[in-house]
Amino acid sequence: MYYTVKVRDTLRVPPNKFDENLSQVLAEIARESFEGKIDPDLGFIVAVTEINKIYQGKLISGDGGAYYETDFELLCYLPEIGEVVTGEVVECVDFGAFIRIGTIDALCHVSQIADDYFRYIPKNAVLRGDKSKRDLLVNTRVRARVIAVSIGKSAIRVGLTMRQNSLGAFDWIDEWKDNLKKSDSSAKEAS
């Protein structure tokens, strides 16, 4: 889930930046310090969106820089277990498919793709279902559910499933909906 959070931190402005716009300098420093980082509580920090308040600067003896306590907002992404996400397959390997959901590449293990056994075909870099003959390949748009989240110091690992109705590749979902409509109209005709 994407969300914004307000943060207060002390940022150091180097002396060579004293003649520049303070708000812009602090925004640049905050971006360099926070964007692209992973925080165990916040998740993946996507962007510094706004500088809200700059407090009086402080000097420290022996340091040429100035320190400003600053309030700013961060845009963060933290997947939640049970969340339904859409993404695009970015890589197929023998053990599953990596799916880009926002800023993270999540893994959908072969056992979680569908109620079918999916084999990796290296020649085509595709995962193919034994019974269904469905293919999952790079650039396929999919809908999945988050089933596992692990946050480390340098990575967020996310596990996905597509084994439930209305999940999977969008063309599989359309096929499922069509079959549902056909069975519904057949049931109405029988009664």
pLDDT digits (tens, 9 = 90+) for 108-132: 999 999 999 999 999 988 999 999 9
**Does residue 188 form part of some domain?**
no
Same domain membership, residue 64 and residue 106 = no
Same domain membership, residue 23 and residue 95 = no
- The band of 30, judged by pLDDT with boundaries at 50, 70 and 90, is very high
Mean pLDDT for 56-79 is 94
Same domain membership, residue 92 and residue 175 = yes
- The band of 32, judged by pLDDT with boundaries at 50, 70 and 90, is very high
**Does residue 115 form part of some domain?**
yes
pTM confidence score:
0.78
> Domains in the chain: how many in total?
2
Mean pLDDT for 18-22 is 95
Q: Is 132 exposed, middle or buried (0-12, 13-18, 19+ CB in 10 A)?
A: middle
Same domain membership, residue 102 and residue 70 = no
**Does residue 189 form part of some domain?**
no
pLDDT at residue 191 tops 80: no
**Does residue 68 form part of some domain?**
yes
**Does residue 50 form part of some domain?**
yes
